[in-house]
Amino acid sequence: MVSLRFLVCCLLFLASSVYATIVSHDGRAITIDGNRRVLLSGSIHYPRSTPEMWPDLIKKGKEGGLDAIETYVFWNAHEPTRRQYDFSGNLDLIRFLKTIQDQNLYGVLRIGPYVCAEWNYGGFPVWLHNMPDMEFRTTNKVFMNEMQNFTTMIVDMVKKEKLFASQGGPIILAQIENEYGNVIGSYGEAGKAYIQWCANMAQSLDVGVPWIMCQQDDAPQPMLNTCNGYYCDNFEPNNANTPKMWTENWTGWYQNWGGKNPHRTTEDVAFAVARFFQRGGTFQNYYMYHGGTNFDRTAGGPYITTSYDYDAPLDEFGNLNQPKYGHLKQLHGILHSMEKTLTYGNVSTIDFGNFVSATIYNTEEGSSCFFGNVNETSDATINFQGETYVVPTWSVSILPDCKTEVYNTAKINTQTSVMVKKPNEAEDEPINLKWSWRPENIDNFLLKGKGEATMRQLFDQKVVSNDQSDYLWYMTTLHLKEEDPIWSKHMSLHINSTAHVLHAFVNGQHVGNYHAENGKFHYVFEQEAKFNPGDNVISLLSITVGLPNYGAFFENDPAGITGPVFIIGKNDDETIVKDLSAHKWSYKTGLSGFENQLFSSESPSKWSGDSVPFNRTMTWYKTTFKAPLGSEPVVVDLLGLGKGTAWINGNNIGRYWPAFLSTEDGCSTECNYRGAYYPEKCQTNCGKPTQRWYHVPRSFLNPKGDNTLVLFEEIGGNPSFVNFQTIGVGGVCANVYEKNVLELSCDGRPISSIKFASFGNPRGKCGSFEKGTCEASKDVVNILSAECVGKEKCSVNVSTEKFGVPECDGATRSLAVEALC
């Protein structure tokens, strides 16, 4: 007789498992509920946007043809102090994963917990570094205990909400560690033992979905090793039962302060994806699909900018980055249409020579073909099954039926959106904001040299501040007599520094400041200074601009005034040096304005509206403004300021540094997609501020009434030029090949006019189209005006039936259009 207890247990088991998804894999693909899948994924990092933005970003990902959303998990954001956790606001990981689930997409959870990601300290909390006997990412018991604690906590949180696919949730893959194979050689045998421990630890957590390890050629079984990079078509897994997976297809690159804006062409990204699937890939993830913003102090580096736009398919603000978004969307649809053939078909290859090949996937139901031309200079004409095909340089043509080309990576049939910034129409005089100010109180540090702790040693800034602030004061008092051998009329301060930015003061007088060149963070600062008989207070303010996030032993890269520090006296031909490194040094983390929360709208501190000074160091500024009308993303223009931090209604929108200009050389107006991409290949913004505009999420704003902007200015600037703007589509243009569909969209705004249109062989590019040598017989402008003007979007078949027959002898015919929104 079956007991009631047994029946209840069975019913509970069935209730918990009826919606479970079985995720497995073989050498061809990830298999979901027994079906091999072509999976396209995109990285969206939840802390780099806001919860209010998540549904729209994820929805656009789905509409763009993604199957999954990938994110890292950021240890230092969630555990800023040991065993004190934060999952509030834009750190609400569970809410983010449920938002993915709401869109019926899969999730890829890259726990790490080392993430790199151009994130501060690679995602590691600095308190971890300061634990006794600590060494990161090796067989160090202290580190492994902390890593296991955090990883287990994240897994348990996700399990509790039943978010793994094995529980009926969206997460089909999980990741442990990150790109360790790039540095494992530096750790020797301990590194090999560590990666085995990582695999064992992850597997013991019993998540019910496969674990991946990226850039880990020796990933222990059953870990799946995956590829990261601009191109992964040559990647081969380390096990015959592991599918060919690409966890990071870098859609662009990040920016550094003082650097230029890197761009990766749409054609090249599409080429890399198509080439990967041509050569047996079945899972590909865009890093990034939406880059977002490094709010507060989350940017790593050093010198990673506040913007993390990454030239991704969705821009920093969540707008469609066209044509990249649309061209990839078309590619995704075609790959999905070939899913069964790609994952079950027999594969054969024809080598035509000169880096040109055809790959045929054949099943009983039919065949699909890729024609790839990896030659960087020459188009290819090939004969396949009695037909002639032209494959442009550095491109892949896709023929789902092995007869008709429906897509070529170098032929963009998607619109280009021209983004424009518009003044804040909610303000009568948007450029004339009314400012008040107050100085940062630094007298105690400059004149008294008193801090919170005193030690006879110069310490790394991480050790003292625990990364609670960018700012750390190093202060000492030096007693001098006129009869001292070092005394002279020509004395200088000599500092061996690893501070990213340094300000030096002697007896309250600003001696000078210095910011390191990117990548050259070990330097010597030497400046003449006036010393007095008696006590002299030396105050050094060390400032970090993001801690390192990549490389073997990066946690040990020094930051701060690591010394030695000398004073130098010169008498005639004699130079005398006095080493102050072992003096009694007093330390103070942070600045008083931060401690007193001058950035808070509830701060009771008094501000002055009289005689607002400009170009003054260590100064706070405050103003109020009206929220821009509408729903378009908001940016604040900080041109004219130096370096500092900005807050909107108490929300830290990140570091700013418009005074840091990029060099004049290295930019190009044209970008050749042909040939392998590298970050310096296609750059813009030479000789200009690396970042001028800063994202203000709509959720930070009060749509009714006043909003507050607070600035802390370190090096001196002029806030009178600060203004708020909205950013949206101002115009669209396209050059669509015959037998394709022209799709125009102003992203929620109506198309107001057709500025240019030509069907034939038009020349030029977006913004400078010209008619070619042949033109359609019908009035193309009038046809498109009738089809599109007044509508938010329109679709038109590009055909001779629609526009008439151009007299183009042998030329490829296309429709070039430019429209205003």
Who contacts 672 (Cβ-Cβ below 8 Å, separation ≥6)? none
CB 368 within 8 A of CB 400: yes
Tokens of 615: 């170009």
**CA-to-CA separations, 314 to 32, 56, 124, 307, in angstroms, rounded:** 28, 11, 27, 13
Task: Report DSSP letters for 345-406, one per residue.
Answer: SEEEEEEEETTEEEEEEE-SS-EEEEEEE--SS--EEEEETTEEEEE-TTEEEEETTSSS--
Distance CA 247, CA 525 (A): 43
The angle formed by the CA atoms of residues 405, 411 and 412, to the nearest 5 degrees, is 120
Distances (CA, A) of 298 to 110, 252, 279, 466, 548: 18, 20, 38, 14, 11
770 labelled catalytic: no
Q: Which of 70, 118, 177, 179 is catalytic?
A: 179
**Tokens read off for 759:** 């069907």
The total number of residues shown for the chain amounts to 821
Positive or negative CA dihedral for 290, 291, 296, 298? positive
The greatest distance separating any two alpha carbons of the chain, rounded to the nearest whole angstrom, comes to 108
Contact 814, 798 (CB under 8 A): yes
Is-catalytic flag, 189? no
Burial call 157-181: b when 16+ CB within 10 Å, e when fewer: bbbeeebbbbbebbbbbbbbbbbbb
| Per-residue tokens: 486 | 């070092």
Query: CA–CA separation, 651 vs 545, rounded Å?
Result: 19
Tell me if 549 sits within 8 A of 120, measured CB to CB: yes
Instruction: Output DSSP code: residue 61.
Output: H
Q: Which of 248, 316, 440, 775 is catalytic?
A: 248
Pairing of strands 380-384, 245-250: unpaired
Q: Kind of pairing, strands 30-32 and 23-25?
A: antiparallel
Look at residues 239, 204, 206, 205 and name the one whose alpha carbon lies nearest to residue 220. Answer: 239
Structure-token pair, residue 698: 């709509």
**Whole-angstrom Cα distance, residue 136 to residue 127?**
12
Q: Coil, strand or helix: which one is 304? A: strand
The pair of three-digit structure tokens given for residue 541, joined into one six-digit string: 């303010």
Q: Dihedrals φ, ψ of 694, to 5°?
A: -130, 135
Instruction: Kindly give the pairing relationship between strand 39-44 and strand 283-290.
Output: parallel
- For residue 196, give the 3-state DSSP assignment: helix
State the Cα–Cα distance between residues 821 and 819, nearest whole angstrom: 7
**Residue closest to 115 by CA, chosen among 172, 175, 183:** 175
Residues taking part in catalysis = 179, 248
